[in-house]
Structure 1
């Protein structure tokens, strides 16, 4: 795959199929609130069936020519199995359209059907819980005895190991039945038999040759009674000795051959018998297949216990007793190992006797090898059970005189037997490549009880892919030792394989939730796997939530995030929804978050904490009194003020670091939850501090515009314009906390946080206005009018800074506020004086009078401003700036622009005039 295409599949927007929402809807049904724990677990265990049926329907839609059984009804397990067989056969029955993409999609869907079929069979057995033992009923008739059929059925239902092996065999049989028709499989052998469409009447060519021999030699009796010299010339068309009789075991008994055409015919029939057993066909179907070929004896020889799919529900359909079944198995084993003229004949008896070697000799796929081993294990278990029902003398005779292969003894009877079988098959040269295919590797890990390790390694592969082009904060890297773990990535789904990601994500969801149920039932809080494994397993689901985001299915994300353990659930949810800026959509998502059972208050608080930790903070670049400058260097002149720097916030107004934008959005999310307003203040203060400390004024401006103090108050009180005087009233805050049901926040702390937030915002608003004045649009015809408006705004915004700005917080021991006051306040006041000076020369001398008023405020005995300038060593600059204003006022004789300044008349009424500031030489 080209790098650009791969990048697009991993990072760009994608178009999802309907199955994505279908899977989510099925999961959502499980997560419905109000359900009792047993009901929730039952629904969870039913999810694989629903996913299985969904995959069947999608496969049927791609292959519309499939003749489906029971119309479109896939509501029952049996219907689903039948449909799985039907839809998969079409791949062989109908030619492909030549498009590799369509063919790949069909093959992947077939594998998905198989995967969910396996999980729907095994999960209920693996997570059955510790319920009561099944009730057993005795016969109502005195002296009546249970049949061997009932005994075997009870054994399979009560032995957990046999039950699981039966489920795996049933899955393998159903999967095999989805292959091409048996007649199609045997077609080549049938054609080589040179008998046209005739499938009955046995060995036609050999029979004809025997009749011809008798006719030529005029021999009325059996040919084997001819003299040795005469019989030596009785050969087939290849020159090999030809059989003289037509009974089924003639070739093996006489050591002679059939005609080559009949040999093909014989192999075709045994191949068909093998396929029927391998696919778990009903015995009635096997019998009918043999009857059509006039080979009923073959069906009879398989009739004792063929173990068809239906037989799993009803037990073996036989009236034989335990001793007879045990003897029959040993006869089949003898035929498998010592008899038979063909590999498929030996494999048929190998299946019936539970042999491994003879069945593996004809195995072609990974499934075939697994079938050989699991069939042998289960039949060995049943045989042991049969012998337990036999008298001791019968058991002794059978064991001494007639051997049988014991797969349980061969493989061992410990808990790792499945793992060893899977490893052995996976290393077989014939199927090594198939075993490494991601779907098959997932199935194998589940059967081997190695699913936790498989999901861990799958998570490693997903993590590496997610961080291939850029560092992912959602699918995060783990410890270095985990990243260095060597895995064969070809065994796992890649991040670009969206269907595979969906499958493995839902497998993780299933086992994660079921493990949670088991821990609850056992009152155990300890995780069953290492923390690092869990971390990478969760990365699979994190990657899937990112896929949902790129697919514009954000409404599904809270559902899947609810599966994570905390705090990962809040982290994954945060990264996925943070980019959403629409308030209405945010409100809808908060509703979905609550519906998914996620605490919205903890979510928004965790989100804000998460993104605050992501902010860049370099102490070496901290702003201080010496570094923060927005005025051009040099003293002011009598004819002009010190100029402010243009665009001191930044050349591009909207250029804000994405990390800072995310933090501001997190505060917006925090504000949307009713009881989280105290955290908006407390966390917002920390954000303001960091932005200002690092000189990120554009980010601070964005914060006050998006999360303004007045907006917070409106959200808290429900009033559009609450009185400002209430903010300093402890009773007001007590009442607000009571109304919000917040008993864990002190009113004094809430009041202090609100005050600090408002005052930090006031600084940013003042600086924002000053920057606007410093960066005029000289082409605007209403230039001076705009300056006048901004000066008025600046005056309003400066008022909080001119009296006790941040001092209450500083007195409470907040040293960071002290640093910000020292760094920003002197320069901001000097810039404000410069702005008034500029407006006084260009608009009205009343602005100069405002400078004089400011000078009087600073000079007051109880003023906190003069000390700040003294501590900063900038009193000289202050005096020079005010002196320059007074000189300008002294020489300014008339108003300009016809402007009227709000507050100017009041200043004059208070006694201010330009004569007061006249400087005499």
Structure 2
């Protein structure tokens, strides 16, 4: 942990520099491991350097062209991984910490982030020394220096958070509070400037923060600016000094003064008498010249320097500004001006006080020395506000020395310049207040305590707001990293996170990227926030900073009032992880989202995860982070189903059940390929998403049943039978129930078990029901039991679990029955392509037809049971099941009858007898009768059975050895048509709906 006192006098953690290539080469082997693509690209580039660029192979050029994109992807991927690892370690440690220990651990986390960013910036620097040809290629892809500068800035920004965090710590605030009670006691008339400064920093936490900001701005200026040279200064090239050092001061004005002294034989300084103005003036514009060469002569005499010297003065004051802006030490001041014979300027910049204490940060002497130079400080303020100075840079220098932002603002060319000048003035203002209290205490010894004034950081926030609209700084202020920096420096991070949260939702809906994760937000925010909410680096930085500060309590009020908006920043980062396919990191960050939004966010992202191994990983991670898995699974399934159903409805495809049968020559038959294959990717995604129910827990089995029945109903009512078929095979009730509950809850398994075995199958809890009650209908069960929804009931009782699964089982059996009918018709249609006069083929075909018809018979039996699809769990489900019954049961029954009819002619007349048995079953089944009556298809059923009866009568007339076809003619296989079955004369083809 850094020292509690953040004073520059006592030092602080050095700002980390991006690592050199040599340092990077010494990293761990895992971090240095290059991908195959990187290694190949590197080898290609080396070959191209040796050869002429115009003759380079096309493949090599392509590799080199794509290399920047790969490097960017690798850089982002590595940063994402490293940040997540650091945050995960912090999350685990922070669970057991509180108070100052938590602050120390958070400070270490900021240090880790700064190290990661520094390494990333170092890697970019290490790879930036490419060939000119490679650089040209990279530029064509938009890889600019701005991107590299952003990486360096990110590294510096994490270092800034590292410096600012202790300023908010309870330990520092507590120490400052205690120090305020006796702040002035140890100070006396002979206290040195650094002792006064130290006492000031001990009592004022806000001053510690301002000092950290100023130091960071000075460091940034030094790092991002080239070495200061004369030619870099405004107007220097017009001052007539050439490219050498400044020697002789204002030499162009000295010459006429010397001439006047020689002419007048004047041994001392010229008297600026009124008559001198008539003979001592500039030739360029006849303005009076100064008669003396001290620095104040022009202002004191209200006279001018020669034009070249005025330009020289302007450049000199510009240089002074630059030296102050870069935080140069007194030694650097002295060296600069001593080389130019202007040593007095160096004394001015440090406020002319001798300090030999090596512990002092020499860059701050100009502020520290204000304690003993009150008159000089007063004069600097007057000069800063003076309108008589020749150049704005002179006002600016005096403004920095005295703490006048208005005097420095005209020469500020960037947001950082303005912030530097403003924060400098705020710090000096607070120091002046302490110095005033110090002097007051010297007059009144009874005064001992000092209470600093409230924070004035609001002025920084106000400037940040104005910089976003000022035409001179607007472009810079809108840069995402600069927006993040401004938020750090203003200290109003809560406002920053809220604005970013609003912007994240807005831009998601505006761009369509990750919009399903957010509710639409119409709150007005700045353009800066909207731009930053789309920048990947700032999204990552904002999310991690927010997650680090939240446990410290610094954002409690913002979370209390706008929790959902604050969470948008984390969710925005989750969307970014989704874009980069970092699915394994999702649960870590989702665990920091409220319990209400976790399922929605994770569910909508994980719905796209279809690989079983990845699903297993997600399940393990979600459980380890305490995320309610069953709620996520519910969202995955429910969201995909609802989204797909809405698209169907928008396209007008919803609620249009599929036709199973058709009529050919007034004879009913199954439509060929009425299910077909599933080629729709959206349907496939919905089905695959419901495979997640295999991961649900036993207590939430009712939820799994609800999800599956909901999708089955949607698919059947919209006629998407191929998807329903896929669902029945991919998420089969028997296998899923066995995996989730350890029991096979399919209808076939339940029927096969004896009541005693069923009674012994309970696992515990709800195993007190009688055997007859277990088999009772759900409506009766609901009346006899507690009023809660059956599917919401948590149970481990086998019969209760089976009852929850009943509708799922019925819908699955319905789809399986339709699947067997389709297969039967495909087989029946295929007989037309077989050899007509091959007895062996005929025998084989009959055998296969018989086996398939038996499968149809078995699949149709559950549909003929009493109460099939009549066990609705609620009114809405009853409505849906009624529509399914009234459409699909008549279709399936008529299709089944047509299969028996065909089998009675092609295989054996016994199948015609089964047609009569089918008629008897239907007559005794109220559910089936009701379905035919409600769908107004009873006439079709009666007609079909009439055809069955006629066929059976004809078959009986001709005996069992030969059966006649429908036309009564002899078949080509021998005998009179109609005397025996002739499957080769059956040529049913698909026709339009009847």
* TM superposition score category, shorter chain reference: 0.7 to 0.9
CA shift at 1:730, angstroms? 5.5
Cα distance in 2 for residues equivalent to 1:733 and 1:612: 34
* Alignment match of 1:365 (pick from 407, 414, 417): 414
Distance in structure 2 (CA, Å) of the matches to 1:869 and 1:104: 73
Say which SS state the counterpart of residue 34 (structure 1) adopts: helix
Name the stretch that deviates more: 755-764 or 614-623.
614-623
**What TM-score, normalized to structure 1?**
0.75
Distance 1:832 1:547, change over 3 A: same
Alpha-carbon separation, structure 2, partners of 1:756 and 1:727: 21
Conserved? CA contact 1:737–1:743, under 8 Å: no
Q: 1:330 aligns with which of 363, 368, 378?
A: 378
Taking a change above 3 Å as real, the CA distance of residues 786 and 557 of structure 1, as seen in their structure-2 partners, is: farther
Q: Post-superposition shift, 1:507? A: 0.8
Unpaired segments of 5 or more residues in structure 1? 1-11, 68-93, 396-407, 898-913, 915-921
Cα deviation per residue 1:39-76 (whole Å; 9 max; x = unaligned)? 66655555555555545544444445999xxxxxxxxx
Cα distance change, pair 600–63 in 1 and its aligned pair in 2 (3 A): same
Question: Match of 2:812?
Answer: 761
Output the CA distance in 2 between the equivalents of 1:737 and 1:612. 33
Distance 1:528 1:389 in 2: 42
Task: Flag the 1:719–1:255 CA change in 2: closer, same or farther, 3 A.
Answer: same
Q: CA deviation at 1:629?
A: 5.2
Kept after mapping to 2: 8 A contact 1:463/1:476: yes
Q: In structure 2, how many angstroms separate the alpha carbons of the residues matched to 1:133 and 1:829?
A: 86
Partner of 2:951: 888
Write out per-residue CA displacement over residues 340-375 of structure 1, whole angstroms, 9 at most, x where no aligned residue. 543322321210111122211322223222322221
CA shift in 2, pair 1:367/1:695, >3 Å? same
Q: State yes or no: 1:527 paired with 2:559.
A: yes
2:259 alignment partner, SS class: helix
Rounded Cα–Cα distance in structure 1 between residues aligned with 2:211 and 2:366: 19
Instruction: Sort the Cα spacing of 1:591 and 1:294 in 2 relative to 1 into closer, same or farther, 3 A.
Output: farther
Q: Which residue is equivalent to 1:901?
A: none
Task: Report how far residue 557 of structure 1 moved.
Answer: 3.2
Compute the RMSD of aligned alpha carbons.
4.9
| 1:831 paired to 2:887 | no
User: Alignment partner for residue 225 of structure 2, among 179, 190, 194?
Assistant: 179
Counterpart-to-counterpart distance in 1, 2:507 and 2:178: 54
Cα distance in 1 for residues equivalent to 2:260 and 2:303: 17
- Contact 1:335 1:346 survives alignment (8 Å): yes
The question of 1:643 aligning with 2:669 is answered: yes
1:705 corresponding residue in structure 2 = 729
Matches within 5 A, 1:304-703: 304=351, 317=365, 324-338=372-386, 341-391=390-440, 416-448=458-490, 458=500, 462-463=504-505, 465-468=507-510, 473-478=515-520, 482-483=521-522, 489=527, 492-493=530-531, 500-511=535-546, 514-515=549-550, 517-518=552-553, 527-530=559-562, 534-535=564-565, 538-539=567-568, 541-614=570-643, 616=645, 630-632=660-662, 642-649=668-675, 653-655=677-679, 658=682, 661-675=684-698, 676-703=700-727
Distance 1:732 1:243, change over 3 A: farther
Aligned position for 1:22: 79
Distance in 1 (alpha carbons) for counterparts of 2:82 and 2:712: 42
- Structure 2 equivalent of residue 209 of structure 1: 255
Q: CA deviation at 1:890?
A: 4.8
CA distance in 1 between partners of 2:244 and 2:465 (Å): 45
Structure 1 contact 15–551 (Cα < 8 Å) conserved: no
Distance 2:926 2:137 in 1: 89
How far apart in 2 are the matches of 1:352 and 1:318? 7
Does the CA contact (< 8 Å) of 1:857 and 1:863 recur in 2?
A: no
* Contact 2:766–2:796 (CA under 8 A) maintained in structure 1: no
Aligned mates of 1:315, 1:135 — CA distance in 2: 28
Alignment of 1:49-60 (within 5 A): 49-60=111-122
Structure 2 alignment gaps of length 5 or more: 1-68, 130-134, 445-451, 768-791, 835-840, 964-979, 981-994
In the alignment, what sits opposite 1:402? none
Number of corresponding residues:
820
Q: Displacement of 1:295 after TM fit?
A: 2.9
Paired residue for 1:281, among 328, 335, 339?
328
Where does residue 745 of structure 1 map in the other structure?
A: 795
2-structure distance, mates of 1:96, 1:808: 69
> Does the CA contact (< 8 Å) of 1:574 and 1:607 recur in 2?
yes
Per-residue CA deviation, residues 763-792 of structure 1 (Å, 9 max, x unaligned), is 111012212333456386597776555433
Q: Which has the larger displacement, 385-394 or 426-435?
A: 426-435
Q: Alignment partner for residue 34 of structure 1, among 76, 80, 92?
A: 92
The CA deviation string for residues 51-105 of structure 1, in whole angstroms up to 9 with x for no partner, is 55545544444445999xxxxxxxxxxxxxxxxxxxxxxxxxx999975642443
3-state SS of 1:527 partner: helix
- Give the 3 Å change call, closer, same or farther, for CA 318–224 of structure 1 in structure 2: closer
Q: 1:414 to 1:356 in 2, by over 3 A?
A: closer
Shift of 1:761: 0.7
1:809 aligns with 2:841: no
Q: Tell me, what secondary structure is at the counterpart of 1:642?
A: strand
**Aligned residues of 1:843 and 1:895 also touching (Cα < 8 A):** no
| Superposed counterparts of 1:136-215, under 5 Å | 147-177=192-222, 178-183=224-229, 186-187=232-233, 189-199=235-245, 201-203=247-249, 205-206=251-252, 209=255, 213=259
Contact 1:803 1:863 in 2 (8 A): no
The 1:629/1:129 distance shift into structure 2, 3 A limit, reads: farther
8 Å contact from structure 1 (residues 436, 490) kept in 2: yes
